[in-house]
Amino acid sequence: MLKIENLTMKFGGVVACSSFNAEVKRGQIVGLIGPNGAGKTTVFNVITGVYKPTEGQITFSPREGEQHRLVGLKPDRIAQLGICRTFQNIRLFGQLSVLDNIFIGNHLRLRSNVFSSVLRLPGYTAEEREIYEKSMYLLEKIGLQDFRNEKASSLPYGMQRRLEMARALATNPKLLLLDEPAAGMNPQETNELIGFIQEIKEEFDLTIFLIEHHMEVIMEISEKIYVLDHGVLIAEGSPGEVQRNEKVIEAYLGVG
Amino acid sequence: MRDKRRTDLIALAALVCTVVVLLLANRYLDDYKIRIINLSGIYVTLGLSMNLINGFTGLFSLGHAGFMAVGAYTVALLTMPIPMKEMNFFFQPIVPWLANVEVGFLPALLAAGLISAFLGVLIGAPVLRLRDDYLAIATLGFAEIIRVVFTNTQSLTNGALGLKGIPNYTNTWWSWGVAFFTIWFVSFLIRGSYGKAFMAIREDEVAAEAMGINLFKHKVLSFAFASFFAGIAGGLLASLLGTIDPNMFRITLTFNILLIVVLGGLGRIAGTVVAAVIVTVMMEALRFLDESINLGFIQLKGIPGMRMVVFSIILILVVLLRKEGLFTRLKGRESSYAEN
Ligand SMILES: Nc1ncnc2c1ncn2[C@@H]1O[C@H](COP(=O)(O)OP(=O)(O)O)[C@@H](O)[C@H]1O
Ligand SMILES: [Mg+2]
């Protein structure tokens, strides 16, 4: 579904990621781990078009027999193709309501033009009703239906994380990128999160690529793991293989 | 959903009240007061137009005087009777394709809006594609350029001489009819998916783009609507005053509108409407500041521009006392750095 080939990203003198290769297969949950500053978020930023890589190719195949080269595309185009993400430092539409945040996630699939939205023509209102119902469903799924009229920025941290995921789901992604979804969560919340990720994967037929610091999360749900250190891929394989890998142990327990 | 219904009811009640007030005003008030009522309506349209772009979409445009000038000249040249044109253009004859045109007020207003929107897209597109930080400067420059161009295109605008004898079509029904149309348009726009997308862009561009919102397309759309309404308001003003010249459309005009938007609250519709009326009335009420004041025992010489000073101070106070401030509400600057 997603193939990253020979990806290099330099910021001036800083090489955030160098000659990185990875593949995410349809229906998999794939993990990306590594110490702080290893270049994990940079990989996500390049996939989603926030940065144009210095070198390398990324191909995305939302359906069998359909291939898109992502390098050079704008973030909104990539989202329309079916890749959506969450952010490590939550980026909600803070002044807007919880419901509106999810509502906006649907905007990219809207077919009506702006005039039919202002005139509230039947085509638009039918679409809006659908969006509203879908948004309410997603709100219930993350248990925030009672908070739908609150400002997004007023929610506690854990809820904001869930809201960000629901907003990403509203875009109907095929591939979901999660950047440290368990950051700042306690063990119980983390457990719930694991269940939640597996649940949405089944229900929405997703493929998931996930960055995580919590080892227990990544080890439990990933089928395959890539390990980055200083922008270099130092290991890849099943959770068991990666856990036994000496370079990985060194990167995590050593100086870094 | 229920909230929306309540807002609709309040809006309807406000509409009915306005109609009643206008009926009574037209009957009992003198011309001077009617003119203030007209100006209030026009400023409502202008305030909402600027709030759409500066308040709801989080861009910063200072081009309103320019778009108003475009609208004003469009309406003036399209509605002015043919003999009147000949009298105005004694210095140099008007361009032939305009010499024999005279259309009704409504088509002229629409033309004013459309031409203004077209120009808005023309200057907005390059800036909005690259760095919208520069939109304020680009639009400010545009407004000044329009003024200079209109001063020098003698056979099109009659240059610095201006235009006199523009038919006075604008009455309270026109000015407030357009105001209510604008209120309706902006409210429904904001309530719908596109308006929410505008606000998403204001809140966080990186996130909005990651959610599949085409930033350029939506910014241009918002800017085009804002220019459209500014053009129409300019047309109403021209037809209200009957006389226009390029120097009416200076930066101070934009500044008045900015004051309305800031007083009324960025991204607030009802607040803008109220602020528009208050600022218009105050602008007249404080006129004495610019004139000489006779306190009986002492004669204070008037200081022209004193009104503007008072307004500037009000603007500064509002910005300082509102915790969120003018610029932070517009856009979190840090959001353009996509570290995470
Ligand atoms: N926009 C940027 N400009 C300059 N340097 C950056 C930028 N984004 C990331 N970096 C650098 O790239 C490296 C990797 O960062 P990041 O991908 O955020 O790491 P991780 O997510 O693994 O903690 C860091 O050294 C960081 O400072
Ligand atoms: Mg990171």
Q: How far is B108 from chain A (nearest CA, A)?
A: 22
For chain B, positions 157-186, list CB contacts with chain A under 8 A. 185
CB B279 within 8 A of CB B39: no
Residue A138 with chain B: CB contacts under 8 Å: none
* B74 residue type, one letter: T
B92-101, B105-114, B143-152: least confident range: B92-101
CA B261 – CA A168 distance, rounded (Å): 33
Phi, psi of A171, deg, nearest 5: -80, 5
Query: CB within 6 Å of ligand 1 — which residues?
Result: A 11, 14, 16, 34, 36-42; B 339
* B317 residue type, one letter: L
The average confidence (pLDDT) of chain B is 87
Helices (H), chain A: 40-47, 75-81, 98-105, 114-118, 122-141, 157-170, 187-203, 215-221, 239-244, 246-253
Percent of chain B with pLDDT over 70: 90
User: A–B: how many Cβ contacts below 8 A?
Assistant: 114
CA B133 – CA A200 distance, rounded (Å): 39
CB A233 within 8 A of CB A227: yes
Name the token pair of B199: 């606000």
CATH 3.40.50.300 spans which residues of chain A?
1-82+173-256
Predicted confidence at residue B3, as pLDDT, reads 65
Interface check for B206 against chain A (CB to CB < 8 A): the answer is yes
Nearest CA in chain A to B198: A104
Q: How far is A124 from chain B (nearest CA, A)?
A: 9
What global pTM score does this model have? 0.90
Whether B48 shows a pLDDT value over 90: the answer reads yes
Q: How far is B306 from chain A (nearest CA, A)?
A: 37
CA A97 – CA A93 distance, rounded (Å): 8
CB B242 within 8 A of CB B166: yes
Task: Map out the domains of chain B as residue ranges.
Answer: 2-250
CA A90 – CA B207 distance, rounded (Å): 9
* B46 residue type, one letter: L
Nearest CA to ligand 1 atom 26: A37
Question: B211, A50: Cβ pair inside 8 Å?
Answer: no
Distances in whole angstroms, Cα of residue B137 to Cα of each of A186, B118, B203, B231: 49, 19, 22, 20
The whole-angstrom distance between residue A122's C-alpha and the CA centroid of its chain comes to 34
Q: Pick one of 3.40.50.300, 3.90.79.10, 3.40.640.10, 3.40.50.410 as the CATH number of A1-82+173-256.
A: 3.40.50.300
Predicted confidence at residue A209, as pLDDT, reads 96
Q: Tell me, what's the ipTM? A: 0.94
Interface check for A89 against chain B (CB to CB < 8 A): the answer is yes
Q: What are the tens digits of pLDDT across the range A28-42?
A: 999 999 888 899 999
pLDDT range class, residue A140, cuts 50, 70, 90: very high
CA A162 – CA B330 distance, rounded (Å): 27
Whether B338 shows a pLDDT value over 50: the answer reads no
Helices (H), B153-266: 154-157, 172-191, 193-203, 205-210, 215-241, 251-264
pLDDT range class, residue B309, cuts 50, 70, 90: confident
CB B262 within 8 A of CB B315: yes
Q: What are the tens digits of pLDDT across the range B160-190?
A: 899 999 999 999 999 999 999 999 999 999 9
Distances in whole angstroms, Cα of residue A23 to Cα of each of A17, A104, B52, B172: 16, 30, 44, 67
Phi, psi of B319, deg, nearest 5: -65, -40
Predicted confidence at residue A215, as pLDDT, reads 78
Burial class (CB in 10 A: 0-12, 13-18, 19+), B297: exposed
Interface check for A118 against chain B (CB to CB < 8 A): the answer is yes
